[in-house]
Amino acid sequence: MAAAVTPLKTQKAWQLALALAALAGWATAAALLASPSEAGRASLGGYSLERLALTLAAVLPALLFTWLALRTWRQPSGLAQKLKPVGGLPQAMFAGLAALLAVVFFISVGLALLPEARAVSLFGSLSLYLLRLLPLLWFAALVSGLALVLLLAERFGSAADFTGQKPVLRLGLAVYLGILALAGLVALTGLGLGFDATTWNAPNAPILLTQVGLSLAAALLTLRLAFGLRQRWAALVAPRCFELALAALVWLVAAVLWLGQPAQPTYYNSPPLPPTQQSFPLSDAFNHDVIANSVLIGEGFRFNDFVAIRRPLYIQFLAGLEAVVGANYGAVVSLQVLVLALFPAFLFLLASRLHNPLSGLVLAGLIILKESNAIALGNVINSSHAKLIMADLPTALAMSAFGLGAVAWLRGSPRNWLGALLLGGLLGWFILLRSQVLTLVPFFGLIGLLTWGLRVGWRPVLLFGLGALLVAAPWVVRNRVLMGQWAIEDAVVAGFLANRYSHTPGTFGLPFLDGESEGQYYARHMQSVRTFTQENPGYVAGFVADNYARNLILTALPMPLSLELRDLESHVRELPYWPSWDGRLALESVLPIALNLFLVALGLAVAWRQARWAGLVPLVINLGFTANLALARVSGWRYNLPADWSLVLYYALGLGQLLLWTFVFLRRSPAVQAFLSDLSQPVSPPSAPAKLTAGRAAGALLLLLLMGNSFLLIEALSTPRYQRPSSTEASAMLQATGQAQPWLLEGLKNGDLQALYGRALHPRYYAAGAGTSEGDFYLTSVMDFERITFYLLGPDPGSVALPFGQPHVSFPASSDVLVLRCRGASYAAAVAVFPAGEAGQLLISDTLESSCR
């Protein structure tokens, strides 16, 4: 058993605590007397009886603590004798006393940190008393906290075991000083705080201080129960199975909480509307869904006439979801959530391997709650979350999976050629999910060389790069063949970059010239970017550096930014970081940020001591991803969501290390000893790399080629579902509804009506004057008549608006439709809807009938 704290050290700690409690008591009494009194209720010395009673409640303990402090300083030997019974208290009595002190401490701190508005909402008029009690609450928190710590130290404390932890603490302090030095440099130079002319984007969803406490408590309880079950079934549970079982539990909790959190209408999804009463995607999410449906109907990875698209891997994933559950937006989102719930599970595994399962569970809890906050705040802050058809959180999931593989690669043998090739292929695949991942390739090449040295490391690094090239290159070659340019993104991205590489940067892409092709547009704007860079190298270097620093700063802001216990919505509305930030810190954020950065520094130290260069994998992911964002002159918001978990990971490792030190200090407790023993057991013993054989090498190459060429294979094997109908075929479709009007048939025969056939996406009904003025989106824009709008996908894709006054009609999403439009008209004259398994229905616009006769 570890040696106990010596009586001398315990005695001095009690002496200091009593002196501090006495000073705090007198300070509390002074604060109560100094606050303004009620003139109408003054009775003695200008103070009310209530004020005097509160002051007496501070003075009496202050007198007691003063007397005890003086006595113990005069007779120190007597204190040691009086403290001996504390260590011998019956277990139940000691536990009850400790629990009472803990309850007093947490209630006092919780009430003291309640902001006024929330106190009023919780307690009504009684909240007025909290302000008067504030000095007493802090006094009670101090006394109960000191007493709890000293009682635990007296019974279980052991300083001898802490000596082995000093290297981690020293390294953590050194890293912390380095971070503070960088912060001072930023404050001095203004780098990241406004050099660039672009607008600050907001951080992503926050983590509240109370949620940090909840994550810590949940992690401890879960791990204690898990260790008990492992001991009971020790013969049946292998270490790796135990780790995977905890990861599965994390996945389940994330899936349940995220599915149960209602999604709000945002910039990327509409509220439920007739005739389907479904929510549908908007903006970038709309583009993703349209392209996924284009794949499903055999048109390939295209958007309207554009052959180069963004994020083909996410489109492939989304098309797979819709192939499984159909056109039900809610079902697609729910299935996506089940996949994305792997994100905190992967991060649990990553943190466990960089530290221990306790830190892993703390991190998982923080990430689960952070994403729940993002879903809840969908209509308050502009961000991306699991219930939107967006590629940001899927990319974060991908980065966590890559991080797991990278840690295993860097901690293994440099002769693991197969692992290097496959890991590079995985990164190349993820480049097709979000092109910003591309800049991770040189960063991880460098960290590979730092890990093994140039002489040994060049081979695995070369194979890593080759794997990325094998998977990502086929998509680039496809775009070269179809568009004429070596592009990994769509042409619009080039216009966006050209708009950003300017002295007056804009937000969106620039327009096409008349008759300009997709490839010509791309080439023109990429040349504009190159020319601007060559003519203004200093300016470009400045805004790249500024956005790089700005993104790193914003990555630190999702962690607790205030000690006040606000509710979630008040937190983002009252602090100055949302919806946009001007770079200035709120005064109440200074201390929390300083504490956050210390925990991040401690987490970095822990990861370095545990895994050396492999421990920096999450940081390198952030640095590499941020480099791409800086080159694109963007920062914050959903842009850095795929990498903003990295500092949260180190924050969780720092919290886990503080808990570990606490347990080491209390190691004389049998329960703590057992917990530490369980925690020290390896959960995932390293495995030797598989021997490289010709068969394995061929299999790996085949897998990588299949991953990279899967998009091309899908396009090659696809047959378009819809064809342009002739007038005869269109007439037959109309007659199949049993509602064909003679004037429609006559119009088709004479060529007065244009017939368009395809799939109707996102049907919505709007009353006259309804819609949204946000953005430039025809389907949801405000119009002065009742209408049903949808997007037609097929040989002639485009937006359709049908003037129609009945919201409750049978018009399922993704139905086959025949659209009839008068030649030269802006709106549809009629739409024949053919729901799967139902008779067709004809919807006619009466306002346009006369103009088509």
Cα gap 786→611, rounded to integer Å: 63
For residue 316, pLDDT beyond 70: yes
| 569 CB-contact burial (10 Å; exposed 0-12 / middle 13-18 / buried 19+) | middle
Helix orientation angle between 357-376 and 342-354, rounded to the nearest 10 degrees: 150
Q: What is the DSSP letter of 203?
A: P
| 539 CB-contact burial (10 Å; exposed 0-12 / middle 13-18 / buried 19+) | middle
Cα gap 49→38, rounded to integer Å: 10
Cα gap 769→780, rounded to integer Å: 11
CB proximity list for 767: less than 8 A, separation 6 or greater:
786, 807
pLDDT of residue 7: 41
Compute φ and ψ for 306, nearest 5 degrees: -85, 125
Cα gap 559→577, rounded to integer Å: 12
- Concatenate the DSSP letters of all residues of 351-381 into one string: HHHHS-HHHHHHHHHHHHHHHHHHHHTTTTS
For residue 73, pLDDT beyond 90: no
Task: Enter the pTM of the model.
Answer: 0.93
Determine which of 45-59, 578-592, 750-764 has the lowest per-residue pLDDT on average. 45-59
pLDDT tens per residue, range 685-710: 566 666 778 888 899 999 999 999 99
pLDDT tens per residue, range 126-175: 777 788 889 999 999 999 999 998 888 878 877 666 667 789 999 999 99
Compute φ and ψ for 571, nearest 5 degrees: -60, -45
pLDDT tens per residue, range 526-550: 999 999 999 999 999 999 999 999 9
Mean pLDDT of 549-568: 92
Tell me how far apart the 2 most distant CA atoms of the chain are, in Å: 113
Chain mean pLDDT for the chain: 90
Handedness of CA 280, 284, 290, 295 (dihedral sign): negative
CB proximity list for 113: less than 8 A, separation 6 or greater:
563, 564, 565
- Peptide bond preceding 275 in cis form (omega within 30 of 0): yes
Handedness of CA 339, 344, 347, 352 (dihedral sign): negative
Cα gap 475→432, rounded to integer Å: 8
Q: CB of 522 within 8 A of CB of 510?
A: no
Compute φ and ψ for 789, nearest 5 degrees: -115, 150
pLDDT of residue 78: 65
Q: Where are the strands (E) in 384-495, listed by range?
A: none
Amino acid letter, residue 727: S
**From its phi and psi, is residue 90 left (phi > 0), alpha (psi between -120 and 50) or beta?**
beta
Cα gap 314→288, rounded to integer Å: 8
CA 386 to chain centre: 9
For residue 588, pLDDT beyond 80: yes
Q: What is the DSSP letter of 598?
A: H
Cα gap 356→659, rounded to integer Å: 11
Amino acid letter, residue 652: A
Compute φ and ψ for 19, nearest 5 degrees: -65, -40
| pLDDT band per the 50, 70, 90 thresholds, residue 1 | very low
CA distance readout (Å), 194 to 536, 579, 772: 19, 17, 32
Q: CB of 827 within 8 A of CB of 848?
A: yes
Q: CB of 818 within 8 A of CB of 828?
A: no
Cα gap 604→647, rounded to integer Å: 9
Reduce the DSSP state of residue 261 to 3 states and report it.
coil
Q: How far apart are the first and last CA of the chain?
A: 98
pLDDT of residue 6: 43
Helix orientation angle between 518-535 and 491-500, rounded to the nearest 10 degrees: 30
Cα gap 597→832, rounded to integer Å: 61
Per-residue tokens: 431: 């480049």
For residue 222, pLDDT beyond 80: yes
Q: CB of 348 within 8 A of CB of 363?
A: yes
pLDDT tens per residue, range 265-308: 998 999 999 999 999 999 999 999 999 999 999 999 999 889 99
**From its phi and psi, is residue 130 left (phi > 0), alpha (psi between -120 and 50) or beta?**
alpha
Per-residue tokens: 655: 């919290």
Q: Give the closest residue to 299 by CA, choosing from 794, 776, 674.
A: 794
pLDDT of residue 685: 58
Cα gap 414→815, rounded to integer Å: 55
Q: CB of 551 within 8 A of CB of 196?
A: no
Q: CB of 144 within 8 A of CB of 111?
A: no
pLDDT of residue 687: 64
Q: CB of 720 within 8 A of CB of 793?
A: no
Q: CB of 324 within 8 A of CB of 576?
A: no
pLDDT tens per residue, range 36-64: 666 556 666 667 777 888 889 999 999 99
| In the block, residue with structure tokens 């780098």 | 191
Per-residue tokens: 402: 């890559």
Cα gap 744→830, rounded to integer Å: 9
Compute φ and ψ for 681, nearest 5 degrees: -70, 135
- Peptide bond preceding 618 in cis form (omega within 30 of 0): no
Determine which of 344-348, 427-431, 555-559 has the lowest per-residue pLDDT on average. 555-559
User: Residue 44: beta bridge partners?
Assistant: 47
Q: Give the closest residue to 390 by CA, choosing from 176, 627, 639.
A: 639
pLDDT of residue 151: 86
For residue 8, pLDDT beyond 50: no
Q: CB of 668 within 8 A of CB of 158?
A: yes
Q: Give the closest residue to 611 by CA, choosing from 355, 359, 397.
A: 355
Mean pLDDT of 720-746: 92
Per-residue tokens: 482: 């179809």
Q: CB of 128 within 8 A of CB of 17?
A: no
Spans of all domains in the chain: 7-157, 174-680, 727-852
For residue 521, pLDDT beyond 70: yes
Handedness of CA 392, 398, 404, 406 (dihedral sign): negative
Cα gap 593→575, rounded to integer Å: 13
Reduce the DSSP state of residue 32 to 3 states and report it.
helix
pLDDT tens per residue, range 796-832: 999 999 999 999 999 999 999 999 998 878 899 999 9
Choice between 242 and 647, residue whose per-residue pLDDT is larger: 647
Per-residue tokens: 707: 């991953």
129: enclosing H helix or E strand: helix 127-156
CB atoms within 10 A of CB 496: 21
Handedness of CA 635, 639, 643, 646 (dihedral sign): positive
Encode burial over 27-54: b for 16+ CB neighbours within 10 A, e otherwise: bbbebbbeeebeeeeeeeeebbeebbeb
- The percent helix, strand, coil of the chain (3-state, each to 5) is 65, 5, 30
| In the block, residue with structure tokens 């709890």 | 148
Mean pLDDT of 375-400: 95
Q: Which strand ranges, in their side-by-side order, compose the sheet holding 787-793?
A: 798-803, 787-793, 753-766, 815-822, 830-834, 841-844
| Portion of the chain with pLDDT greater than 70, in percent | 92
Per-residue tokens: 698: 């061929």
Encode burial over 132-151: b for 16+ CB neighbours within 10 A, e otherwise: ebbbbbbbbbbbbbbbbbbb
Taking CA 836 as the corner, what is the angle to CA 833 and CA 837, rounded to the nearest 5 degrees? 115
